[in-house]
């Protein structure tokens, strides 16, 4: 991080807020992102902005394709999939829902004509998506889309105290693979 700050000629004290993707996703990666964000924000006394990883993916698809509905599918492992359904009017999300489903529940998703599917979970349900003749893209959350949402939230004061930052898991501890 210090190398990046040096590259853009900023110090940590120049920051107004720290933004992060908060999951769902890899348990370790999600905890790590939240912990680093929390520690940095605490140390310099600034708020945080937490954005769903699925929202970041959906916004990237909307930015690129101007689509009105994006369904995000992320591999949750343990025979589950994270599903995020997002509706847009222009660039604004007007409705969203995020949940975890067992793979055999994928038929409960009812996309509209013209829905875009994105995420690494698409490959888990490719047969279902082929039946729908769906538009499928494999992408990962993009920092540019996180920053766009963070700017919007910062403008309206939608920030968190670092102590309130928490990862989003969508599944309980009983689904964690324990070593």
The predicted pLDDT at position 145 comes to 95
Q: At residue 173, does pLDDT exceed 80?
A: no
Q: At residue 176, does pLDDT exceed 60?
A: no
Q: CB count, 10 Å around CB of 172?
A: 8
Residue 177, both tokens: 């693979």
When pLDDT is averaged across residues 82-88 and rounded to a whole number, the result is 96
The predicted pLDDT at position 172 comes to 58
Residue 173, both tokens: 């501890």
3-state SS assignment for residue 114: coil
CA angle 139, 144, 145 (to 5 degrees): 65
Instruction: Give the domains, in start order, of the chain with CATH numbers.
Output: 2-51+141-175 (3.30.420.40), 54-137 (3.30.420.40)
pTM attached to this predicted model: 0.88
């Amino acid at each position: 991080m210090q190398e990046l700050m040096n590259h853009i000629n900023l110090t940590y004290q120049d920051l107004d807020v720290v933004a992060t993707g908060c999951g769902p996703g890899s348990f370790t990666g999600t905890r790590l992102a939240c912990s680093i964000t929390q520690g940095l924000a605490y140390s310099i006394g600034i708020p945080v902005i937490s954005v769903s990883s699925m929202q970041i993916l959906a916004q990237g698809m909307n930015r690129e394709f101007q689509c009105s509905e994006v369904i995000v599918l992320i591999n949750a492992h343990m025979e589950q999939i994270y599903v995020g359904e997002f509706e847009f009017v222009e660039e604004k999300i007007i409705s969203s829902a995020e949940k975890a489903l067992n793979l055999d529940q994928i038929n409960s998703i009812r996309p509209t004509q013209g829905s875009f599917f994105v995420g690494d979970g698409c490959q888990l349900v490719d047969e279902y998506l082929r039946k729908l003749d769906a538009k499928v893209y494999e992408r990962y959350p993009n920092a540019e889309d996180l920053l766009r949402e963070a700017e919007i939230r910062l403008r309206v004061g939608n920030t968190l105290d670092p102590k309130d930052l928490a990862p989003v898991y969508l599944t309980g501890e009983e689904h964690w693979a324990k070593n």
